[in-house]
Structure 1
Amino acid sequence: MKRRLLLSAATAASALALGGCSTQRIDQYSQEKPVLDLRQYFNGVLDAYGVFTDRSGAVVKRFTVVMRCSWQGDAGVLDEDFSYSDGTKQKRVWRLKKLPDGRYTGTADDVVGTAQGQARGNAFYWTYTLSLPVDGSVYDVTFDDWMYLMTDTVMLNKATMTKFGVRLGEVTLSFTKRP
């Protein structure tokens, strides 16, 4: 019992220490241009190209995504089809809702609970827990997800993946909006 309690305390301390290292805030991007309007950018068809890197920075998986996006008022659907370098396929359908003050919520079948996000200037930050299948098991991992609009058609995305406050790796993506 003592050992389990010490392990829990050590895990909590690690999570607090790692969380304290992050100094990035969404408000620091409020004056950056071009201004990101999620309803405008994620509308139509987009192509994305990405990699998942482990803790050491080594590329574990490469993937592409075709996104078909649409909005009706403040409700959006991002229908994503993933193709991975190992030949596997995956589908995720995000259902987004725009709230006041640049805030958004999102749900998907493999997201635990509700994603929470906010846009400011050219940036969008959101966090969520994803049920991730790995080698026949499913793990709930937390994503801290940052997106930066570079031009009207190009956005960069960097997400850090953690479990119990321990950094597992990163996902890096580039989005290109089709004309």
Structure 2
Amino acid sequence: MFKVITFITVLTLISGCGTSINADKYQTITPTFDPYIFFNGKVKAWGIVQNRSGDLVQRFTVDIDGSIDSSNVLTLDETFHYEVGEGVAHRVWKISSEGNNKLQGSAGDILGLAEGNLYGNAMRWQYTMDLPVDDTSYKVEFDDWIWSFNDSTIVNRSYIKKFGLTMAEVTIFMQQIPLESVTVK
């Protein structure tokens, strides 16, 4: 009985160690974040992944080509380049508006559907992924928070969780590439 009580106590304490962000406080902050506006075109991203100890395990850039089709589906074609560590090289997101500031999305390496909510200048994006690490993969939950920094820049903080514990954190800065900077071939 003592072991059961100890186990429940430890689980309760651990579950309190998670990240809890109050989305409501971002409702009135500007500029408002609209993924359909921000990602409609070319975007450059720079990011890092830190493990639980805070050590840098990945440093990468991402080239994102966004477009909206006639069905109002936002497609994000992402190409990753790693300077430190390894990871996915390519991902294509298909994102649709579900009304009421809600979004749904899918990508080839995402399990099930991703779900998102817009809160003024912030967006919460949650999904499950089989994350490859070395010779194995782990089923983890991603809890992404995106904030509009200004009209052309956003900051994304991702918390990668397993059993409710944050195992790693991702920080990504994304910036729209002005149309005049895009070379036509």
TM-score after normalising by structure 2? 0.85
User: How many positions carry a matched residue from both structures?
Assistant: 174
- Residue 132 of structure 1 is matched in structure 2 by 131
C-alpha contact 1:14 1:166 (8 A) present in aligned 2: no
Unaligned runs of 5+ in 2: 179-185
Q: Is the counterpart of residue 77 in structure 1 residue 75 in structure 2?
A: yes
In the superposition, relative to structure 1, how do residues 90 and 43 fare at CA in structure 2: closer, same or farther (>3 Å)? same
TM-align CA RMSD: 2.2
Residues 124, 53 of structure 1: alpha-carbon distance in 2 compared, 3 angstrom cutoff = same
Q: Give the 3 Å change call, closer, same or farther, for CA 65–10 of structure 1 in structure 2.
A: farther
- CA positional deviation for 1:56: 1.5
Q: Return the match for 1:37 from 18, 34, 39.
A: 34
8 Å CA contact retained: 2:50, 2:58: yes
After superposing on structure 2, the runs of 4+ consecutive aligned residues of structure 1 that deviate more than 2 Å are: 5-19, 86-89
Letter in 1 for 2:73: A
Quote the offset at 1:86 in angstroms: 4.2
The within-5 A match list for 1:58-137 is 58-72=55-69, 73-86=71-84, 88=86, 90-137=89-136
Larger Rg: 2
Q: TM-score by structure 1 length? A: 0.88
1:18 aligns with 2:17: yes
Distance 1:156 1:116 in 2: 18
Identity rate, percent: 34
User: How far is the alpha carbon of 1:174 from its aligned partner?
Assistant: 0.2
